[in-house]
């Protein structure tokens, strides 16, 4: 039993076009799952809306539909300006050391410092170190700035 299928030039062109489109779609799908994380950064990944993992530096692959990138954080020491309640301008140096904890708390440095000022009559390195660690941060230094 031989079945002979005759294809016209239009049919062949259509099959080739569909094949190329499928291959390009698969390539785009694959490339969408590649995540390159630079040095001193971390990416938080969710799966089905729940925390899944944290990617450190390097190249990682995840299925694009099932997994989502929900946060990108710099893990190098950072200096941020803060104006205290007493009007002092401060340069606070800190670092994210627990990306999962920091991401789940979602607190800015300004909000954290206001909370610390409200709870403590005296702000010193010990108090800052203790409070920062609760949010996945490492307190490094605090200096008065000119403005």
* Domain boundaries along the sequence of the chain: 9-74, 78-144
Is the pLDDT at 55 greater than 90? The verdict is yes
CA angle 16, 3, 13 (to 5 degrees): 15
Asked if 61 and 45 count as a contact pair (C-beta separation under 8 A), the reply is no
pLDDT at 1: 66
pLDDT(6) > 90: no
Q: Look at residue 142 in the predicted model and tell me its pLDDT.
A: 87
Q: What is the pLDDT of residue 103?
A: 93
Token look-up 């005759």 returns 6
Q: Can you read off the two tokens belonging to residue 59?
A: 């190249």
pLDDT digits (tens, 9 = 90+) for 102-122: 999 988 888 998 888 888 777
pLDDT at 48 over 90: no
Q: How far apart, in whole angstroms, are the C-alpha atoms of residue 124 and residue 146? A: 20
For residue 129, give every residue at least 6 positions away whose Cβ sits within 8 Å of its Cβ, in sequence order, or none.
138, 139
Q: What is the pTM of this model?
A: 0.75
Average model confidence (pLDDT) for the chain? Answer: 88
Residue 147, pLDDT score? 62
């Amino acid at each position: 039993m031989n079945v002979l299928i005759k294809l016209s030039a239009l049919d062949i062109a259509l099959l080739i076009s569909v094949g190329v489109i499928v291959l390009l779609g698969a390539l785009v799908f694959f490339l969408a799952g590649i995540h390159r994380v630079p040095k001193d950064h971390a990416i938080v990944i969710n799966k089905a809306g729940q925390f899944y993992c944290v990617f450190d530096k390097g190249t990682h692959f995840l299925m694009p539909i099932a997994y989502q990138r929900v946060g990108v954080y710099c893990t190098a020491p950072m200096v941020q300006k803060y104006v205290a309640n007493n009007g002092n301008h401060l340069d606070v140096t800190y670092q994210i050391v627990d990306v999962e904890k920091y991401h789940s708390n979602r607190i800015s440095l300004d909000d954290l410092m206001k909370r610390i000022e409200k709870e403590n009559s005296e702000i010193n390195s010990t108090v800052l170190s203790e409070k920062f660690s609760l949010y996945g941060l490492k307190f490094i230094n605090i200096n008065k700035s000119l403005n």
